Amino acid sequence: MFVHALKIDDSKCIGCMRCMKACPTEAIRISEGTASIQEHRCIDCGRCHEVCPVKAIYINQDDFQMVHEFPHSVALIPAVFLGQFPEDVRVSRIYDALIDLGFRHVFEVESAAGIFAEAKEHYARENEDVRPLISSFCPAIVRLIQIKYPSLVENILPIKAPLDLSAMYCLEELMSRGIPREEIGLFYVTPCAAKIAAVKAPIGEKRSIIDGVINMDVLFNRTYRKIKEQGKKYVSKQSRTINLSSDAILSTLTNGERRICLAKKSYSIDGLQNVMDFLDKLENDEVEDVEFLELRACDQSCAGALLSYENRFLCGARMYARARKAAERERNGEVPREREMDKWKDYLLENSRVEPPQPRSMFVLDKDRAKAFEKMERINKLKARLPQIDCGLCGAPTCESFAGDVVINRIGLSRCIFYQRHLERKDDITRQECIAAMNAVWGKDDRMKDDID
């Protein structure tokens, strides 16, 4: 039901609590000495991955060897992939290297940015009573709204993201050339965990047509190494420039969708905390007249993606530089190759809708309100007695979340070290019970290397 790309490697995790404290949806707990992610709360934003000091959090990807299994393997690359390379690396060389690595075709995902924008405008016109409309571009945001802002799910545009539109295009185009479906392998090069989760468990669709996912940092390494190997004197096999228009290149950066949308009043907000602050206000009806929202989980949008090797500002600046060059070519009358997609535009627009995402609230204590009410009273009572210092030693991020865990998941209250002291004072707990409670959170290894004199 909940497919996530972020996983924790127990053998590496040192139980330092950094991820638990960083998680914006309080999805992480520590037990038996290591962290674990509660699947129903995780939105795959990747904040935990960023803060882990021992790289215990990893992103599940498919085996690169799969690429060789399809005679027509397609690399669907995001524009930020190009932002990883220094500006003096020509796009044609990047394509060449990808082909050398085993892909038969290379296609930029954002080629569909224009069609994505058009599909959104169609929906906006047909649904004038739904405002603001929230972009479906960032899957971490869609999941955030599902679990934390259920009243806003109907504002999410039920439109396929550029990735899915591009994948559909590649499939139709290749099949129209007589290539059978089983020979075509669509590989998405992902900049983030959220996109992987979206591909593996698409919201509002039965299953994705993508055959495999490759992490962007891994592919960047391989590609850049290839380019270095080929050396300075290498002559490109193809004289291709970037396929994308300048609008498409910029579409994944902050303001990228907003700058080309038709709404009178719109906002672009990046960074998960900023987005949550804004949605809190929006949910209370404190934001007036806004028609369109471009919300992105990452600071600097996809330039700040988890699997971006380059610094987010440098990556963004490089993309701006490439966009400027593309704009210049467009001014000189050159038509960006992405326009080849227009051949399938009607088909893509017709198939651009998905089933509206459903609320999946993580807050609800119980579906039965009377029971929820009873649980809440117990949680509140318990919470008021805890020390409210959010020390995390119980294995939960806050005293409040611990109170919830005790009531809902029947976690032992004696995991709170203050409560334990309290019981000891009253002689209500044996030493054995204390040790058992401690082990439940921190594992059997007691983390003391030696006696302290």
Partner 1 sequence: MHQEYTVIEGDFVNAGKASSSVKKTLKQLNVDPAKVKRVVVALYEAEVNAIAHAYGGKVLVDIDSDKIHMVVADKGPGIPDIALAMQEGYSTARPEVRDMGFGAGMGLPNMQKNVDKLNVTSEVGVGTTVEMEVNF
**Residue 8 within binding range of ligand SF4, rule CB under 6 A:** yes
Which of 365, 434 has the CB closer to partner 1? 365
105 forms bridges with which residues in the sheet? 74
**Residue 52 within binding range of ligand SF4, rule CB under 6 A:** yes
Contact partner at residue 425 from partner 1, ligand SF4, none, CB < 5 to 8 Å by partner kind = none
**Residue 195 within binding range of ligand SF4, rule CB under 6 A:** yes
Residue 7 contacts by C-beta under 8 Å, 6 or more apart in sequence? 37, 57, 58, 59, 60
Exposure b/e, 322-355, CB count within 10 A at least 16 = b = bbebbeeeeeeeeebbbeebeebbeebbeebebe
DSSP string spanning 334-346?
PPPGGGGGGGGHH
CB of 351 to ligand SF4, least distance (A): 21
Residue 382 contacts by C-beta under 8 Å, 6 or more apart in sequence? 403, 406, 407, 413
CB of 38 to partner 1, least distance (A): 16
For binding to partner 1 (CB under 8 A), which residues are involved?
A: 150-151, 280, 283-286, 359, 361, 363-370, 372-373, 376-377, 380
CB of 15 to ligand SF4, least distance (A): 5
CB of 216 to ligand SF4, least distance (A): 9
Which of 205, 368 has the CB closer to partner 1? 368
Residues in binding contact with ligand SF4, number by CB under 6 A: 26
Select from 293-301, 333-341, 396-404, 411-419 the region that touches ligand SF4 (CB under 6 A): 293-301
CB of 399 to partner 1, least distance (A): 16
Which of 370, 448 has the CB closer to partner 1? 370
**Residue 194 within binding range of ligand SF4, rule CB under 6 A:** yes
Which of 118, 283 has the CB closer to partner 1? 283
Interface with ligand SF4 (CB under 6 A), residue from 199, 250, 293, 305 = 305
**C-alpha angle 293-299-304 in degrees, rounded to nearest 5:** 120
For residue 257, give the DSSP letter: T
Structure-token pair, residue 52: 């882990």
Contact partner at residue 151 from ligand SF4, partner 1, none, CB < 5 to 8 Å by partner kind = partner 1
**C-alpha angle 142-341-336 in degrees, rounded to nearest 5:** 100
Please enumerate, as own/partner, the contacts of 168-171 that have beta carbons within 8 Å and a separation of 24 or more: 168/209, 168/344, 168/347, 168/348, 168/351, 169/111, 169/112, 169/341, 169/344, 169/348, 170/74, 170/76, 170/105, 170/107, 171/209
Which of 31, 155 has the CB closer to ligand SF4? 31
Q: Which is nearest to 76 in space by CA: 164, 193, 194?
A: 164
- CA–CA distance, 210 with 61 (Å, rounded to integer): 13
**Residue 302 within binding range of ligand SF4, rule CB under 6 A:** yes
Which of 58, 433 has the CB closer to ligand SF4? 58
- CA–CA distance, 158 with 167 (Å, rounded to integer): 17
189 forms bridges with which residues in the sheet? 214
Containing 282, the helix (H) or strand (E) segment is: helix 272-283
Interface with ligand SF4 (CB under 6 A), residue from 120, 226, 296, 415 = 296
Contact partner at residue 14 from partner 1, ligand SF4, none, CB < 5 to 8 Å by partner kind = ligand SF4
**Residue 42 within binding range of ligand SF4, rule CB under 6 A:** no
Applying CB under 6 A, the residues found at the interface with ligand SF4 are: 8, 13-19, 35, 51-52, 54, 56-57, 138, 140, 191-192, 194-195, 296-298, 301-302, 305
